[in-house]
Amino acid sequence: MSTGSNPCKQELLKSEVPVPRWWKSKVEEIQEVVYNQVKRGEVQTLSVSPGERKVGMVIYGDPEPELKGTANFNSALGSGNPDAYYRRGPGVRKRPVFMILAGVHGQEVEGMVGAVSVIKIMETGKDIMGREQPVLKEKLEKLRLIVIPLANPDGRARVPYDGWVGLPEDEMTRYGQGTKKNGEMYRWLPSKAVHPMRGDVGMLGAYFDDNGVNMMHDEWFAPMSNTTKALLELVGREGPDLVYNLHGANIKPKILPVNYVPVSFKQKLADFATEAYRRLDEKGLPHLEVPEVTEDGPVGTVPPAFNMSPAFYHAGADLTMVIEIPHGCTARSGVSSYEAILDIQHVLFEAAADYLLGLRRNE
């Protein structure tokens, strides 16, 4: 399909906060790290996008196939024995599985940089800024770590900005959700009312791959995106104990609620968010509210979407969440520097590592 007009031909706005040199969010910069700088991890290509761009993945830590059961997750639950899928939980896995996914939406560059920083830490002991991170490295090395820093390279390739700090929120929205042929912006929720995004498209937003698919709202029983299909297969194969799906918004950091999952899952998510936010508080970093434990779709309301988070749970992820990382466009996001955006993610990565190490089997 046509990806709309070339946004790079339009004059770009300038921010008073320049993008620092260490901030690597371009497609080619991320691919350079994944395919040319990884020596300790295992590099795989998860999929190839409609625009013929590789979706790279880096894996650290050995798997434990002896813990794999004889059924998929759904069937295991049907049997009344979750261990028929995977034996996991406190004291079972030597290497609990942590999956970091970023770049599902191409304009949400913050998580891409955070994911690349994790790869840098695992490879060199230093984060993407060049700062030593011995504690975080030591903790992550005890896990099976799967990092996918850029799930939607098609969308990212359409965005001429490398970061959003100090830029107008509308500029991010224009490139994120795209425009109609008359130049009118689709914006956040209305952009989901046309899917795949085709027809009245002036500039195809970075939400979408080159086929117009927003993977967060794919067709789960018959995925339109090969990357979505590959992600679901990866989750089912690995049975991750924790999945971070890193997104971006012009708000303070927020762990989003997950719908269409058991109440026990929702409570575990709320408990995790409470601890993660406590750690952000300790560092003087912002955040929003803990997700509530509520019923889905009360009578008289529009039912919530069954998006990628519940899809990952039902494919086999024990705990999975979308985390909104702030863009820094305005004061509403609670940050005004690229360093703070990265620091928030490092705090969240260490919170994840400590949670998972609490599940680890000691030998």
Secondary structure of residue 241 in the 3-state scheme: coil
- Token representation of residue 339: 């360093």
pLDDT at 207: 98
Tens-digit pLDDT profile for residues 171-190: 999 999 999 999 999 999 99
CA dihedral defined by 172, 248, 46, 206, rounded to 10 degrees?
Answer: -20
Instruction: Please state, in angstroms and rounded to a whole number, the distance separating the CA atoms of residues 109 and 268.
Output: 28
End-to-end CA distance of the chain: 54
For residue 113, give the DSSP letter.
H
Q: Do 118 and 73 form a contact (C-beta atoms < 8 A)? A: no
**CATH code of domain 35-148+223-324+331-357:** 3.40.630.10
Q: What is the largest CA-CA distance in the chain?
A: 64
Angle, alpha carbons 344-348-349 (nearest 5°): 115
Give whole-number Cα distances, 354 to 15, 141, 276, 347, in Å.
Answer: 37, 12, 10, 11
pLDDT at 361: 87
Where the chain has pLDDT below 50, the residues are 1-2, 4-8
Angle, alpha carbons 214-218-221 (nearest 5°): 170
Instruction: Please state, in angstroms and rounded to a whole number, the distance separating the CA atoms of residues 137 and 125.
Output: 6
pLDDT at 220: 98
Q: Are strands 97-102 and 144-148 parallel, antiparallel or unpaired?
A: parallel
pTM of the model: 0.96
Instruction: Please state, in angstroms and rounded to a whole number, the distance separating the CA atoms of residues 28 and 129.
Output: 18
144 bridge partner residues: 97
For residue 233, give the DSSP letter.
H
pLDDT at 9: 56
pLDDT at 5: 44
pLDDT at 3: 52
- Give me the amino acid identity at 204: L
- Give me the amino acid identity at 42: E
Angle, alpha carbons 7-11-12 (nearest 5°): 85
pLDDT at 362: 81
Instruction: Please state, in angstroms and rounded to a whole number, the distance separating the CA atoms of residues 248 and 270.
Output: 20
- Give me the amino acid identity at 6: N
